[in-house]
Amino acid sequence: MAKPRKVALLANCLLNQNAKVCEGARYPGVASPVVEALRKRGYELQQLPCPELAFAGVRRWWAVYEQYDTPAYRNHCRQLAKAVAPLIESFIRRGDEVILIGLDGSPSSGVRFTSSQPQWGGRPNRPQDDWDIVPQRGIWIEELELELARRGLPKIPATGWALDMGRFDEAGSRHDLEEFLESREKAAAPRGGKLRGGKAAT
């Protein structure tokens, strides 16, 4: 039997900042601090699809949770979840330790937080920072978790890189990520062919 691995599921743009909305890319390509922290601790990387790019294209406006919370977008996210879920299931069923690093503040990939503003709509001329950050999953993460639950898989421990929180604090994000990874190391139970999941650390 193959040795269990440590696998980190990554929001698409953490490996590819070209997926971000216009004016949203903080790194040229790879979000280096995230990748560095994960590789240093021996995690293999598994990039998730970007639901917004596949739905609204690379030249889309930025948006909040309420704008993407439509039947069509949720259906699109469900299709993407069905595409990637078999791979995630194979990791979990072989006993790999799987974690999820999303994108806090994102309407789609938020884990601890998403962006909210029920008034947004029409021409995107709202003043800067005219949205709220609320403690809630983004739509993509909600749908992905539902698909994994449908397959009888345990909840994946998750955190978010706070890139979409309005004012990005890289040092704070790095601290949060390290703390999360540290907690996973402490929580790591002896491997025994059982499904490895548990309560999400969010």
Partner 1 sequence: MSVDVRGWRIALIADALLNAGPRVSLPDVIAILEASSYGVLQLPPAGGAHGLLLAVTADQVAEYAHHGYAVVAIGLKGKVESGLHWRRLTSLLRQRNSALPPRHVIAPKIDVEKEACRLAAFLVSYDVPEDEKRRWRV
- Interface residues with partner 1 (CB under 8 A) are 15-30, 32, 35, 39, 44-47, 49-50, 53-54, 57-59, 62, 79-80, 82-84, 86-87, 90, 128, 168
State which residue, 34 or 202, has the beta carbon closest to partner 1. Answer: 34
Number of Cβ within a 10 Å radius of residue 54: 15
Which ranges constitute the DSSP H helices of 71-138? 71-93
Q: Closest separation between CB of residue 60 and partner 1, Å?
A: 10
Q: Are 44 and 5 in contact (CB under 8 A)?
A: yes
Q: Are 120 and 67 in contact (CB under 8 A)?
A: yes
Q: Closest separation between CB of residue 100 and partner 1, Å?
A: 15
Cα–Cα distance for residue pair 138/114, rounded to 1 Å? 6
Q: Closest separation between CB of residue 119 and partner 1, Å?
A: 18
| Chain length of the chain | 202
| Beta-sheet pairing, 132-134 with 114-116 | antiparallel
State which residue, 39 or 194, has the beta carbon closest to partner 1. Answer: 39
Q: Closest separation between CB of residue 199 and partner 1, Å?
A: 27
State which residue, 99 or 202, has the beta carbon closest to partner 1. Answer: 99
State which residue, 94 or 200, has the beta carbon closest to partner 1. Answer: 94
State which residue, 105 or 160, has the beta carbon closest to partner 1. Answer: 105
Q: Closest separation between CB of residue 6 and partner 1, Å?
A: 11
Cα–Cα distance for residue pair 184/37, rounded to 1 Å? 13
Number of Cβ within a 10 Å radius of residue 196: 21
